[in-house]
Structure 1
Amino acid sequence: MTRPLENVTILDLSRVLACPFATMILAELGATVIKVEQPGTGDETRGFEPRVEGEGGSESAYYMAFNRSKQSITVNLRSAEGQDLIRKLSAQADVVLENFPVGTLQRYGLDYARLSQDNPALVYVSCTGFGMTGPYAPRKGYDTVFQAMGGIMSLTGERGGGPVKPGLPVADLTSGLWVAIAILSSLMGRQATGKGCHVDFSMLDGQVGLLSLAAARFFALGEVPPRLGTEHPGRVPSAAFRCRDDKWVQVTGSDQHWKPLCDLLGLHEWAEDPTLVRNIDRVNRREEVMAGLSAAVARLDRDEFCRLCDEAKVPAGPILSVDEVLSNEHVLARGMVREFAHPQLGSFKALPVPFKFDGFDDPSLGRPPLLGEHTDQVLGDRLGLGKEDIQALRERKVI
């Protein structure tokens, strides 16, 4: 068997998080990803904290989290010779991915219009903060800016409190998933037409696209959803509850779960109350219902309450901290914590791409490359350059 993307070659001109996350996923699904980095320094995340110290040196855990299973070459994109190398490599590639500010690669002669002349089947994806068009196109931004402007931060936080960002870089991570979808769908389209395309993806667009239920409520009701903490705007119960041992559990139930939940909590009158059977009735009495449930859950320890919910088939789960997640028996049984061997650090743990295939090999878990580790190999094998040619490029600071 093989992995599903083993015949795909991606020239990755991107850096930092969103796009490297996308290409790491595709690399571990079998694609050959050639990551182009700045000579001497590389992707700026190579210098980000936290650092991992090993016998052979120090590496950035940030960089390693998003760049496994890739090849690394160093090319000076400001150099005319470097730009020519990229044009030659792109002529052999299936995909080029870039996240430079709008107009930068056009100045270098590395935009879609130029590269597609030599490779009409090329899939070229541009990931920018605000897109290639529109009044905000020249603006710069980071993950939290897109969270703020895309609406998710306005929805996140405790009732009556201020906006809160999620604990992970949601805009970056979801943009990486959007980019992976764009690449895969474009490759499928190319199979049908034989032609490549240019994808203009805006990280702000990606966040707006995630508004989903909040947008549907606004379109249907004209409602601007308030911050509700862990509560759901249209379902009761759906919230986090503090248990007797000061641990927390998330309960989310539908109408069929209401009676068994009340029974296991000893709320037998509510279990038989016809005015609480329907979700809409519980939503209308949200304050009363949430207060009663909170008081009842607070009489039980978290693990005991979760056991009772499992027995009654009420959807509930403990709110686990990162260390609890990464040592959880089910997470480990599913193979979601693995290791790779690194030449400088030895063994290091990582989270694999979360697919299990029957019909293909499962995604690999490779190590991230050292800076420029594959420059000679790629230029030699793909462009036919000899050792003397490559050394001359290095002396002229092209690579």
Structure 2
Amino acid sequence: MSAHLTPGPLGGITVLDFSRVLAAPMATQVLAELGATVIKVERPGRGDETRGFEPRLPHGESAYFFAFNRGKRSITLDLKDPRGQDLARRLATGADVVVENFLPGAMERLGLGYDRLAADNPALVYVSATGFGQSGPDRTRKGYDTVFQALSGVMAVTGEPDGPPSKAGIPVADMTSGLWVVIAALTGLAGRAASGHGRHYDVSMMDVQLSLQALNAARLFALDEDPVRTGTQHPGRVPSAAFQTADGGWLHISGSDQHWASLCAALGLDDLAADPGLRHNAGRVAGRDRVMTALRTAIAGRDRDPLLKELRAADIPAGEVRGVREALADPHARARDVVAEFEHPTEGTFRALRTPLRETTGAPPHTDAPPLLGADTDAVLTELAGLDRGEIEDLRASGVI
């Protein structure tokens, strides 16, 4: 098989993964790197469409696919063929978890919906990850990460006040939804341990994005105020913003009342420090323009790194605004082994970001290579579906695998 199955807390758990693209594949990668056996079911010939996404590597593999499909076993099945559907059902009888991200009703039409699979495997935990959920008027509507950022209000509150709405710099809708798919799977497994029965979980990307509006919603509910774009500033705390320094760098400072006097001292802002109306956050929020103008002016006269050193020595929460290269090269990131590497059968050594969950007394989760398309088809169908060589060759000749 293509994946190195490392013992882990989810050892002995089998996940049958019908998902593709980002959110749910990210979730099943987390489960794989925590020890589960993840069997990724892909279309013959093409596989997960992200196998063709940019950026491409020298031998044709996709770095995008690599980011969310490590540690899995890949099999190819034509789920439109009744024989492919039958094989999928046979595999599901031995699975602990099924993850799928088709539009509502699609798996039922394939004979692979929860009710059908649970009839043969009552202990099955089944997670459906869709854009808008299994119910509601938008249930069959398609969407992508940035569409959910737009619809949920995330885009409306992202960006500078005098600029247009902006998306987040990462696919936040996909990735936060992926974490909720993990939560659903683990919740189902924990519940099954107590009851002996599985569950069907409905993860809606739209619901997840709306849940991220918790603080903005609290402001709406408390003040009847629809939040607006504030750039790097916090709507309810001052100071909390990014400031440009004399050398062209940027520094983000996020201070509370206990940091105010020290910050003023470090920046030589004696007049602000002496103003009793600014000693508490409410006063600084009310005087935001005055405070921010003074801070910007003072910080614009200082170079980034020496000022950061001084602020940290004074225990003021501050951090340089880094690019991705700088962030990953940081000594703390290196000490934490954030960047790992794996050996791929065609692309060779490739770096990856580790799954960031670890035990205090153990090694971090093992980082395995993503599978070649269909690399484990024969082994999985032999081991888990009981097919012999002749049956497998017949299915391959017929295009089912």
Please, what TM-score do these two structures have when normalized by structure 1? 0.98
CA distances 1:91-143 after superposition (whole Å, capped 9, x unpaired)? 10000000011111111110001000000010111111111110111111111
Aligned letter for 2:27? A
Tell me whether 1:279 sits opposite 2:284 in the alignment.
no
Give 1:320's aligned residue.
322
The 5 Å alignment of 1:81-230 reads: 81-230=83-232
Residue identity in the other structure for 1:15: R
Shift of 1:396: 1.2
Question: Which residue number in structure 2 is paired with residue 62 of structure 1?
Answer: 64
The one of 11, 14, 19 aligned to 2:19: 14
1:80 to 82, 97, 100: 82
Deviation track 1:23-64 (CA, whole Å, cap 9, x = no partner) reads 0011001010000000000000000010011xxx22100000
Map of 1:249 onto structure 2: 251
Distance in 2 (CA, whole Å) between partners of 1:383 and 1:14 is 20
CA distance in 2, matches of 1:42, 1:182: 25
In 2, Cα distance between the equivalents of 1:343 and 1:375? 17
Corresponding position of 1:4: 9
Give the secondary structure class of the aligned counterpart of 1:340: strand
Matches of 2:12 and 2:261, distance apart in 1: 54
Contact 1:3 1:362 in 2 (8 A): no
Letter of the 1:32 counterpart: T
Aligned partner of 1:68: which letter? R
Match of 1:26 in 2: 31
Residue in structure 2 matched with residue 50 of structure 1 by the alignment: 55
Other structure's SS at 2:122 match = coil
Given that 1:2 and 1:361 are in contact with CA atoms closer than 8 Å, whether structure 2 keeps it comes out as no
Gaps of 5+ in 1: none
Any residues of structure 2 matched to 1:332-343 within 5 Å, and which?
Answer: 332-343=334-345
Count of residue correspondences: 396
**Contact 1:339/1:350, CA 8 A, preserved across alignment:** yes
SS in 2 for 1:369: coil
Q: In 2, distance between residues paired with 1:2 and 1:376?
A: 23
Moved over 2 A (4+): 358-362
The one of 299, 302, 305 equivalent to 1:303 is: 305
Which amino acid in structure 2 is aligned with residue 358 of structure 1? T
Q: Which residue of 2 aligns with 1:265?
A: 267
Query: TM-score when scaled to structure 2?
Result: 0.97
Asked if the contact 1:259–1:271 (Cα under 8 Å) also holds between the matched residues in 2, the reply is: yes
Deviates more, 1:324-333 or 1:22-31: 324-333
Unaligned 5+ runs, structure 2? 1-5
Q: Identify the residue that residue 3 of structure 2 maps to in structure 1.
A: none
Distance in 1 separating the partners of 2:141 and 2:357? 36
CA distance in 1 between counterparts of 2:279 and 2:7 reads 52
- Which string of whole-angstrom CA distances, capped at 9 and with x for unpartnered residues, describes residues 273-317 of structure 1? 211100000000001100000001111111111101110000000
Using the alignment, how far apart are the partners of 1:391 and 1:215 within structure 2?
57
CA contact (8 A) 1:3 1:360 kept: no
Deviation of 1:389 (Å): 1.2
Question: % of aligned pairs identical?
Answer: 55
Deviation of 1:269 after TM superposition, in Å, equals: 2.4
1:225-263 CA distance string (max 9 Å, x none): 110000000000000000001110110011000000110
Work out which of the residue numbers 239, 242, 254 in structure 2 matches 1:240.
242
CA contact (8 A) 1:21 1:176 kept: yes
In structure 1, the partner of 2:45 is 40
Structure 1 residue 2 displacement after superposition = 4.3
Counterpart of 1:152 in 2: which secondary structure? coil
Shift of 1:161: 2.0
TM-superposed CA distance for 1:361, in Å, is 4.7
Q: Distance in 1 between matches of 2:360 and 2:83?
A: 45
* Coordinate RMSD, CA, aligned: 1.1
Q: Deviations over 1:171-206 (max 9, x none)?
A: 001110111111111111111111101111111001
Aligned partner of residue 282 in structure 2, secondary structure: helix
Measure, in 1, the Cα distance between the counterparts of 2:23 and 2:117. Answer: 23
Query: How far 1:325 moved relative to its partner?
Result: 1.0
Whole-Å separation in 1 of the counterparts to 2:178 and 2:255 = 31
Q: Does the aligned pair in 2 maintain the 1:3–1:361 contact within 8 Å? A: no
Distance 1:44 1:52 in 2: 16
What amino acid maps onto 2:256 in structure 1? S
Instruction: State the alpha-carbon separation in 1 of the partners of residues 252 and 187 from structure 2.
Output: 35
Task: Give the one of 383, 386, 394 matched to 1:384.
Answer: 386
CA contact (8 A) 1:156 1:164 kept: yes
- Return the offset for 1:360: 5.3
- In 2, Cα distance between equivalents of 1:375 and 1:85: 11
Distance in 2, Cα, partners of 1:85 & 1:272: 75
Instruction: Flag the 1:269–1:319 CA change in 2: closer, same or farther, 3 A.
Output: same
